[in-house]
Amino acid sequence: MSKLIVLDLDGTLLRNDKTVSNETINVLLKFKEANNKILFATARPPRDAYKYVPEILRNNPIICYNGACMIDNQELVYKKELSKKDTLEITEIAEKWGYNQICIEINDKLYSNFDTSEFFGNALNQKVNLAEMNFEKAYKVIICSKKTISQNFVNSLPNSCKGVITDRGELCQIMNREASKWTSTKQLSEKLGISIDDIIAFGDDYNDLEMIKNAGIGIAMGNAEESVKKVADFVTNTNMNDGIANYIKENILVI
């Protein structure tokens, strides 16, 4: 029976310098050659996901925006967006809570009301007045704060959306309530005829919790948040020490 491996990018597949070791690449290729499937799952937008996934592995599907869309063979095959009404309501609620640094992802472009370099480095974005933007739907709203973002703020969001606090409490990523890495993973597994028991998910941050908890086997990286480790079936080595490759070699391929 084929297995489906789901890989978060940052802090999981990617090392801290955003590269992937040759050892991990070779093990993943052997895993796929054994009639198994690979799925990447990231909070990143498509433009960044394809930039960081090694070229030889880019022919595998990629979940982006924490599950708000899925790309396969460079084509959009699934999406769950926020309405303009919900997007603007989220920005209003954020400002009431004192979170005034806000980004919106629309059609694979990042828009913000502030200089994002402190959070996203040299990532391309367009600084705009968010309230005056002309758009119909958005993939994601990102609240940025150097002070830890409150879970009570997340709880105050509209019922049609959900937020997850990541990156040591500095970001809150808000998507359509039906969008998640796990929801998108299940959709692909059903299409491929792969049972949940044969899904193996790797992750490190809070936005990986659901898929690690619900997959047939959920694996936390050695560098994962403690709450992620608590729901995982196994804890492997860190992203800096080929944690993914080590688990696959020891438990699946027995190389």
Grouping H, G, I as helix, E, B as strand and the rest as coil, residue 178 is: coil
Q: What is the mean pLDDT of residues 97-118?
A: 95
* DSSP state string for 50-91: HHHS-GGGTTS-EEEGGGTEEEETTEEEEE--EEHHHHHHHH
Based on the fold, state whether residues 193 and 165 are members of the same structural domain.
Answer: no
pLDDT number for residue 131 = 86
Handedness of CA 35, 73, 55, 123 (dihedral sign): negative
The count of domains in the chain is 2
Residue 255, pLDDT > 60, answer no
Rg of the chain on CA atoms, in Å: 18
pLDDT in tens, 33-54: 999 999 999 999 999 888 899 9
Name the pairing type of β-strands 4-8 and 199-203.
Answer: parallel
227 is in which domain, residue-wise? Answer: 4-80+179-253
Q: How many Cα atoms sit within 13 Å of 65 on the Cβ side?
A: 33
pLDDT number for residue 253 = 83
The domain boundary residue, chosen from 127, 154, 176: 176
SS (H, E, C) 15-47: CCCCCCCHHHHHHHHHHHHCCCEEEEECCCCHH
Residue 177, pLDDT > 70, answer yes
How does residue 106 score in pLDDT terms, banded at 50, 70 and 90?
very high
Q: How many Cα atoms sit within 13 Å of 122 on the Cβ side?
A: 0
| CA distance from start to end of the chain | 19
Name the pairing type of β-strands 69-72 and 171-176.
Answer: unpaired
Residue 209, pLDDT > 50, answer yes
Query: Which CATH number covers residue 95?
Result: 3.30.1240.10
Select the more confidently predicted residue: 122 or 136: 136
Based on the fold, state whether residues 105 and 221 are members of the same structural domain.
Answer: no
Q: What is the mean pLDDT of residues 10-38?
A: 96
Q: What is the mean pLDDT of residues 70-79?
A: 89
Distance CA 71, CA 63 (A): 6
Grouping H, G, I as helix, E, B as strand and the rest as coil, residue 14 is: strand
pLDDT in tens, 137-167: 999 999 999 999 999 999 999 999 999 999 9
Claim: this prediction has a pTM higher than 0.75: yes
Q: What is the mean pLDDT of residues 182-191?
A: 94
The domain boundary residue, chosen from 124, 153, 176: 176
pLDDT number for residue 123 = 83
Residue 230, pLDDT > 60, answer yes
The domain boundary residue, chosen from 145, 176, 207: 176
Based on the fold, state whether residues 91 and 148 are members of the same structural domain.
Answer: yes
Residue 32, pLDDT > 90, answer yes
